[in-house]
């Protein structure tokens, strides 16, 4: 059995590794908002929606995760979440892939509270919706 630790997860967005600026990352699932429920949806328990939720360090420079959030809302971008890190997916250390729709968060996107620590950084929280259920890659 391979268990997941809290230090190995890596996140790639649009082919760029953002592990160094991400402090919290998870794939979440919930009931999808829907104006209509088909009999197929109802029989399977209802439509589901998957999100990539993360907290990252604010960096308004170009070619950053913050810049993607700020300049590209509404666009689809490929993501890879590697919960156990590593470069190669395997049955015991799978990777999860998919496309998400970039969106701005409700709430803080720039700035924050003062902190006396010289290493403290402002962060932002996002929840980007997957276009389909993420794919579990094992090879």
**Alpha helix segments (H runs only) across 7-139:** 39-43, 65-71
Give the containing element (helix H, strand E) for 100.
Answer: strand 95-101
pLDDT band, very low/low/confident/very high, at 6 (cuts 50, 70, 90): confident
89 Cβ contact partners less than 8 Å away, ≥ 6 residues apart: 82, 95, 137, 138, 139
pLDDT for 57-116, tens place per residue? 999 999 999 999 999 999 999 999 999 988 899 999 999 999 999 999 999 999 999 999
Phi, psi of 39, rounded to the nearest 5 degrees? -65, -35
Strands 76-82 and 48-57: unpaired
pLDDT at 1 over 70: no
pLDDT for 18-72, tens place per residue? 999 999 999 999 988 877 777 887 787 778 899 999 999 999 999 999 999 999 9
pLDDT at 135 over 70: yes
pLDDT confidence of residue 66: 97
Count of C-beta atoms within a 10 Å radius of residue 19: 13
DSSP string, 59-92: --STTSHHHHHHH-TT-EEEEEEETT--SS--SS
Count of C-beta atoms within a 10 Å radius of residue 52: 23
Q: Where are the strands (E) in 2-61, listed by range? A: 10-13, 16-17, 22-31, 48-57
């Amino acid at each position: 059995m391979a268990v997941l630790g809290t230090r190995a997860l890596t996140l790639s967005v649009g082919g760029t590794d953002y592990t160094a600026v991400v402090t919290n990352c998870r794939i979440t699932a919930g009931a999808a908002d829907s104006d209509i429920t088909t009999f197929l949806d109802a029989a399977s328990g209802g439509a589901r929606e998957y999100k990539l939720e993360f907290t990252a360090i604010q960096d308004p420079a170009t070619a950053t995760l913050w810049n993607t959030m700020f300049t590209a809302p509404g666009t689809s971008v490929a993501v890879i979440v590697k919960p156990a890190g590593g470069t190669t997916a395997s049955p015991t250390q799978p990777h999860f892939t998919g496309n998400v729709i970039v969106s701005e968060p409700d709430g803080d996107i720039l700035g924050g509270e003062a902190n006396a620590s010289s290493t403290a950084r402002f962060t932002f929280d996002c929840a980007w919706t997957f276009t389909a259920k993420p794919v579990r890659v094992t090879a």
